[in-house]
Amino acid sequence: MDKKRVSDYMTYDVVTVDVHGSIKDVMEKIRTTNHDGFPVVDNNEVVGYISARDLLFVPPGTPVSDVMSDQLIVADPDMSVNDAARVIFRSGIQKLPVVDEKNRLLGIISNTDVIRSQIEHVSPEKVFNFIETLKKLHGVEPTLKRETVRIDELLPTQSKIYEDELEGRMYEIRKGLAEPLIVVKRPGRLILVDGHHRAIAAKRMGIKTLDAYIIEIGEDIELGMERTAKAMNLSKLDDIVVLDYARHPLVAITHRLVRRV
């Protein structure tokens, strides 16, 4: 995660408000962009931030400079995403303007960007825990190495993925930030354990190989996850169903809870 920087995940095309404008201008920006807050700039230098809640009971002709927050937290583009996450979640703010050493606006990073950077993170602990599980379940002694694998040779073990996460994985692949897959290799088979979104994203981009942690088993045994894949009629990446975000089960649960309330 240390290699993931704010500059890799921030939005570069930022909608701003001019410090010499009025609240009427801000209202128009909210209406036309659907954003709820904007950095306030003076010749591209960040001098404040103004959000929709700042506009309550404020006459449209009021200058932006009278209403904006001029004490704001900003981020450096070289800051790690983990550090930006700490600032965002501990301060309760949703967006951090990203500035250079002269306080000139470079971009903005939001809590959504931070969450996207964390999805499908592969840690060494995750890999070694899986190896220990294989040892206990099958009495084998796997070996671990890191190399590239051909994605068209992978047996998937997850039947569904989500469209919105694919966008994040494609972005990471383009930036060289994608985490390695976790793959079990046994005689005649490569089994994809972790990284289904990354594999599908690469396939969409026409990429043939991806970096992977290879957990190799010398014994020719059928693993439980292979039987599960067979039960789900999975034999190749094309068998995975890509769901639109609106069909995500957590969204459906949230909607039901709201209706009950």
Global confidence as pTM:
0.58
pLDDT of 172: 85
Residue whose token pair is 């001029």: 70
Of the residues 84, 101, 117, which one is the last residue of a structural domain? 117
Q: For residue 134, what is the DSSP state?
A: H
* The last residue of a domain, from among 94, 117, 140: 117
Place of tokens 């230098």: 45
In total, how many domains does the chain have? Answer: 2
Given a cut of 70, the residues of the chain with pLDDT beneath it are 1-3, 118-123, 245-261
| Same-domain check for residues 188 and 101 | no
Helix (H, G, I), strand (E, B) or coil at 175: helix
Based on the domain organization, do 151 and 65 belong to the same domain? Answer: no
Q: Mark whether 137 and 224 lie in a shared domain.
A: yes
Helix (H/G/I), strand (E/B), else coil: 7: helix
Q: Are strands 209-216 and 181-186 parallel, antiparallel or unpaired?
A: parallel
Residue 169 structural domain = 121-250
Q: Decide: residue 121, CB within 10 A, 0-12 exposed, 13-18 middle, 19+ buried.
A: exposed
Cα distance between residue 115 and residue 101, in whole Å? 26
Instruction: Determine, yes or no, domain membership for 1.
Output: no
Rg of the chain over Cα atoms, rounded to whole angstroms, equals: 23
Do 199 and 244 share a structural domain?
yes
Residues 101, 155: one domain?
no
* 105 & 209 share domain: no
Domain shared by 212 and 111, yes or no? no
Question: Residue 233 burial (CB < 10 Å; 0-12/13-18/19+)?
Answer: exposed
What integer pLDDT is reported at residue 3 of this predicted model? 66
Burial 39-66 (b: 16+ CB within 10 A, else e): bbbeeeebbbbbbeebbeeeeeeeebbe
- Contacts (Cβ under 8 Å, ≥6 apart) of 89: 111, 114
What number of other Cβ atoms are within 10 A of residue 202's Cβ? 21
125 plus 246 within the same structural domain: yes
Query: What's the CATH code of the domain at 132?
Result: 3.90.1530.10
pLDDT reported for residue 182:
93
From 117, 148, 182, the end of a domain falls on 117
The average confidence (pLDDT) of the chain is 86
CA pair distance 213, 190, nearest whole angstrom: 12
Instruction: State pLDDT tens for residues 101-123.
Output: 899 999 999 887 887 776 656 66
DSSP at 160: E
Give the count of beta carbons closer than 10 Å to the beta carbon of residue 174.
Answer: 11
Same-domain check for residues 109 and 86: yes
Per-residue pLDDT tens digits for 66-112 = 999 988 889 999 888 888 888 887 777 888 999 998 999 999 998 87
Provide the H-helix boundaries in the chain: 6-9, 23-33, 64-67, 81-91, 111-118, 124-138, 163-175, 196-204, 224-231, 249-260
DSSP 192-258: EEE-HHHHHHHHHTT--EEEEEEEE--S----HHHHHHHHTT-SSGGGSEEEPGGG-HHHHHHHHHH
81 and 136 belong to one structural domain: no
The CATH number for 33's domain is 3.10.580.10
